[in-house]
Amino acid sequence: MATTPAAAAAAAAAGGAAILDTLGDFTSRENWDKFFALRGTGDSFEWYAEWEDLRAPLLSLLHGCGGGAEGGGGGKAPEILVPGCGSSVLSERLYDAGFRRVTNVDFSRVLVADMLRRHARARPEMRWRVMDMTDMQFTDGSFDVILDKGGLDALMEPEAGTKLGMKYLNEAKRVLKSGGKFACLTLAESHVLALLLSEFRFGWDMSIQAIGNESSKSAFQTFMVVMVKGKMGVVHPIQSLLDQSGKFCNMKQANDVIHSLEKENTIRESYSSGVDVTLSLRDLQLGAVGDLKVIIPGRRRMFILGDQGNSLYCYKAVLLDARKRTETFVYHCGVFIVPKVRAHEWLFASEEGQWHVVESAKAARLIMVFLDSRHANADMDVIKNDLSPLVKDLEPGNPEEEARIPFMMAGDGVKQREILQEVTSEITGPMVVEDVVYENSDEDQSSMTEKMFRRLIFKRNSGLVQSEALLVKDSTSDKADENNKKSPSASKKRRNQKKGPSGSKTVLRIDHSYLGSSYHSSIISGLSLIASALDSAAVAGTKVSTTVIGLGAGTLPMFLRGCLPFLDIKVVELDPLVEEVAKKYFGFSTDEQLQVHLGDGIKFIDDIAVANSGATTQQLMSTGNENNAVKILIVDVDSSDVSSGLSCPHANFVEDSFLLAVKKFLDEGGLFIINLVSRSSAVREMVVSRLKAAFEHLYSLHLKEDLNEVLFATPSERCLDNNNMDEAVAKLKAMLKFPVNVESDMKKLQKLQ
């Protein structure tokens, strides 16, 4: 394992390449013991920043702490901690400058023994301790100042990640007094600076300046980052003493730091502006909403619980501290799980309803966790085991008795369930078809007739409910009933009957005018972007080429066929068994208007894109791709590989090569629609960035009640209605044969490019 590139280069410059050969792993105690033993006694070693360059900024910092140097300010001199002290002369120079209360910590016994021999007589008040800086044996609030000279840089091995660095910073925060100063001398490599900026975001005053290098003539710039411990929850902008026009020994290094500070200050401004920023569990742990160990009556904050690498799933959650202190609390902390099908209910979706749940739960603090499509059909014991270590970090106080945090649940929302078929495909994996009736606890809807839904579940993706369709009574069944009794096939017909929600036997069919997924509604509403082109095609009696990659249960293409009869729909599906299931259980059927192509969706688009590229203008016009033609391409597929950070679509569908093929496929005149589900903001930004690079215009419909974000991209303005969206919405609504809440959806539309 090697240390960071810049730190390694700085060390090599300070003491020669042999240092690196001796150390290898900068986090190894044994390696440092060997290193100091080989260097011998009485020798000092500086990673970077000589005392002559540090003297002025450090003494200025320290004279502002407590009473300053011994005898200099009339007050008590500051208690100073130097973690990972090594054999630097920093501590002895501070001592000689009058700062006698210096405690030095290092985990190398060889080093500490040598430093004691060197300084015991000359500097008797200076203390030396053999101690791991990531696990210090000091009481809370022991020091006024912590001076770190390269210690954090040494811990931040790129291959090991941030684990050791975070442990050390947590310890530094713990042993520092309120109002104390933590000064970190660092090369400020991107991963080190990123950790400092995020870990000291809440409740700390932060400043950064460059250290001169007149003495060392190093090729690397040293920075001093100072954090002052303040009040939890308060966010301050970083005070930067850096100037892009200033002189630095390494301009690229300095410019990178300046850019990072500008970006961080933008983030901090959003937190302090009152905008409802989504917090992470780590933000809460760092004090974004105050001290988590204390119950603050009426505190309520939404946040994201869990992340990739630390948990199986990610969860939307709300932290609620009971509004009134009472002696009747049964639990000091509890977790309340809300299934997806009930998340929209007033009791769970509204702030007032959530306070009712807190009172009913009789918990001083309640963590309300909302399940969504990622968790559908996942085993509840797995969910609870995943949540347990996460919510433990949100437990208030130090209860007298170690109590297990209880899990409460609103129920999975399914009142009645019947599994129709379980089948395994070599391509898709295990699939389940089931009929369900959901519980209905909304008082204003209690008189409604219970509805039954048919669901297709792909178990490969955490039990993803791939499709959901509404079952309704077949209106033709009553008229046909008498004839069926007399018909030889009567017994077969009766076998297709089943008990409805009321228990009576009836014939049910799929209602293809109903969209079970809200993101499907958004896909339809987004066609407002090309409403004029669609209207022209409908009036002219021409067909609009529409390609859907991903069949599922066939509910979307069936809705499209009935809702917009002028669409010429081709569905591309990789798995023949999915088509069989769609036809057998979901009433999917093909005709001249709706066809299925079994094969790879990416290859299908590539082949047509290549053909379009090679075709002449005359050939394109003869095939109907004249200037006024419009095409629609919808990608609605899930991913079996969630390790990429994408649940939908598969990562191959957002590769640059495929997006280029889509652009050629649309032939400058169409709309590309993609259903995006990602738990990673970085992955989402990557997808958006690629779409922006490939297409001239990009729009987004983000469904806050789900994780889905529907993206709409077009290569040109030729078919785009972007001047009068109200008029475009009205045109689309006039064309739709089935009801869709277009106005409500389009209010959420955002232009990304």
Tell me how far apart the 2 most distant CA atoms of the chain are, in Å. 114
Residues 543-562, buried b or exposed e (16+ Cβ, 10 A)? bbbbbbbbbbbbbbbbbbbe
Query: What's domain 47-62+77-275's architecture?
Result: 3-Layer(aba) Sandwich (3.40)
Distance separating alpha carbons of residues 226 and 239, to the nearest angstrom: 10
CB within 8 A of 111, min separation 6: which ones?
32, 33, 36, 85, 86, 87
Please give the C-alpha separations between residue 653 and each of 118, 431, 573, 619, 710, in angstroms, as whole numbers: 65, 23, 14, 28, 14
Closest to 556 (Cα-Cα) out of 636, 484, 465: 636
pLDDT at 545 over 90: yes
pTM of the model: 0.53
Give the 3-state secondary structure of residue 398: coil
Please give the C-alpha separations between residue 320 and each of 71, 299, 303, 394, in angstroms, as whole numbers: 50, 6, 11, 11
Most confident of 502-516, 631-645, 659-673: 659-673
The percent of residues in the chain predicted with pLDDT above 90, rounded, is 44
Environment class of 135 (CB within 10 Å of its CB; exposed 0-12, middle 13-18, buried 19+): exposed
pLDDT band at 492 (very low <50, low <70, confident <90, very high): very low
**Whole-angstrom distance between the N-terminal and C-terminal Cα of the chain?**
43
Average of per-residue pLDDT across 662-688: 86
CB within 8 A of 606, min separation 6: which ones?
658, 661
- Asked which of 21-30, 320-329, 351-360, 731-740 is least confident by mean pLDDT, the reply is 21-30
Average of per-residue pLDDT across 37-62: 77
| Structure tokens, 595 | 């066809």
Pairing of strands 452-458, 464-473: antiparallel
pLDDT digits (tens, 9 = 90+) for 576-618: 999 999 999 999 999 999 999 999 999 999 999 888 776 554 5
Task: Establish whether domains 47-62+77-275 and 518-610+628-751 are of one fold.
Answer: yes
Q: Where are the domains of the chain?
A: 47-62+77-275, 280-409, 518-610+628-751
Q: What's residue 415's pLDDT?
A: 80
Distance separating alpha carbons of residues 90 and 96, to the nearest angstrom: 10
Ramachandran area for residue 362 (φ above 0: left; ψ -120 to 50: alpha; else beta): left
Of residues 50 and 524, the one with the higher pLDDT is: 524
Of residues 705 and 186, the one with the higher pLDDT is: 186
Q: What's residue 443's pLDDT?
A: 40
Environment class of 31 (CB within 10 Å of its CB; exposed 0-12, middle 13-18, buried 19+): middle
pLDDT band at 298 (very low <50, low <70, confident <90, very high): very high
Entry field: residues in the chain: 753
pLDDT band at 29 (very low <50, low <70, confident <90, very high): low
Q: Kindly compute the dihedral angle of the four CA atoms of residues 457, 459, 463, 469, in this order, to the nearest 10 degrees.
A: 0
Please give the C-alpha separations between residue 715 and each of 53, 606, 720, in angstroms, as whole numbers: 56, 17, 10
Environment class of 403 (CB within 10 Å of its CB; exposed 0-12, middle 13-18, buried 19+): exposed
Closest to 165 (Cα-Cα) out of 191, 190, 201: 191
Q: What's residue 374's pLDDT?
A: 81
Q: What's residue 349's pLDDT?
A: 83
pLDDT digits (tens, 9 = 90+) for 301-326: 999 988 766 788 889 999 999 998 87
Give the 3-state secondary structure of residue 90: helix
pLDDT band at 627 (very low <50, low <70, confident <90, very high): very low
Q: Kindly compute the dihedral angle of the four CA atoms of residues 156, 161, 166, 172, in this order, to the nearest 10 degrees.
A: -10
Mean pLDDT value across the chain:
82
Q: What's residue 718's pLDDT?
A: 84
Q: What's residue 331's pLDDT?
A: 86
pLDDT digits (tens, 9 = 90+) for 109-133: 888 888 888 888 889 999 999 999 9
Residue pair 177/145 in contact (Cβ under 8 Å)? The answer is no
Distance separating alpha carbons of residues 539 and 628, to the nearest angstrom: 13
Q: What's residue 326's pLDDT?
A: 74
Work out whether the CA dihedral 568, 573, 579, 582 comes out positive or negative.
negative
Most confident of 53-62, 110-119, 236-245: 53-62
pLDDT band at 639 (very low <50, low <70, confident <90, very high): confident
Q: What's residue 507's pLDDT?
A: 85
Distance separating alpha carbons of residues 320 and 75, to the nearest angstrom: 44
CATH 3.40.50.1100 is right for the domain spanning 518-610+628-751: no
pLDDT at 498 over 80: no
Other residues' Cβ atoms within 10 Å of the Cβ of residue 439: 17
- Asked which of 56-60, 674-678, 704-708 is least confident by mean pLDDT, the reply is 704-708
